[in-house]
Amino acid sequence: MRRQSIIEAVIDKQKEFLKTLVKSVSQYKVASDIDEDDTIDPEDFSHQTEAKEMQLRLEEHLKEEEIKLSKLEKSIDNEKLLRIIISDKTILLLGISIPKFEIDSKICIGISETAPIFQKINSLTIGDEFRILQSDEKVLSIL
């Protein structure tokens, strides 16, 4: 499994996730911008503030996820930005937090530098054994 193909698969997943976030942001934006003439029920106005707060949270999350996408795109040719450890059953991306998904029958997991397990996983070398997701693993390669 090549570094570039793994990162491209992760980029595709990240882009899908960003599309979902953009859609959610726009839905909350519409919900938070109710005109007085557009509603009869005064209770609709009480939900405006909640919708606006959610919109702002999602916009912040969207910015964070866009930064992750940029890092992924830059890391295709730069191993210093993102270390990839391939084991029996998992592909670990060290240096970025992403939702887990599957690539070529292996679970792909992103682990940020701030995660408690990061230092332990980052120090692994080929042949080392470790445990993750209640599964014993052995490092097959590091990209």
Q: What is the pLDDT of residues 43-88, one digit of tens each?
A: 666 678 888 899 999 999 999 999 999 999 999 888 889 999 999 9
Q: How many domains is the chain partitioned into structurally? A: 2
Shared domain for 111 and 132, answered yes or no, is: yes
**Domain ends where: 75, 99, 130?**
75
Q: CA angle 85-87-90, nearest 5°?
A: 85
Q: What is the mean pLDDT of the chain?
A: 91
Shared domain for 88 and 32, answered yes or no, is: no
**Average pLDDT of the residues in 87-101:** 94
- φ and ψ at residue 110, rounded to 5 degrees: -100, 135
- Please tell me the number of Cα atoms within 13 Å of 131 on its side-chain side: 2
Identify the three-state secondary structure at position 141.
Answer: strand
Shared domain for 100 and 62, answered yes or no, is: no
Instruction: Say what the pLDDT of residue 108 is.
Output: 97
Shared domain for 54 and 110, answered yes or no, is: no
Shared domain for 7 and 50, answered yes or no, is: yes
Shared domain for 33 and 93, answered yes or no, is: no
Instruction: Say what the pLDDT of residue 47 is.
Output: 75
Question: How far, in Å, CA of 126 to CA of 77, rounded?
Answer: 21
Per the DSSP assignment, residues forming a β-bridge with 137 are: 130
| pTM, full prediction | 0.86
Shared domain for 87 and 42, answered yes or no, is: no
Shared domain for 93 and 111, answered yes or no, is: yes
Q: Which domain holds residue 10?
A: 3-75
What is the separation, in whole angstroms, between the first and last Cα of the chain? 9
**Domain ends where: 75, 94, 126?**
75
Shared domain for 88 and 65, answered yes or no, is: no
Query: Is the distance from CB of 139 to CB of 122 less than 8 angstroms?
Result: no
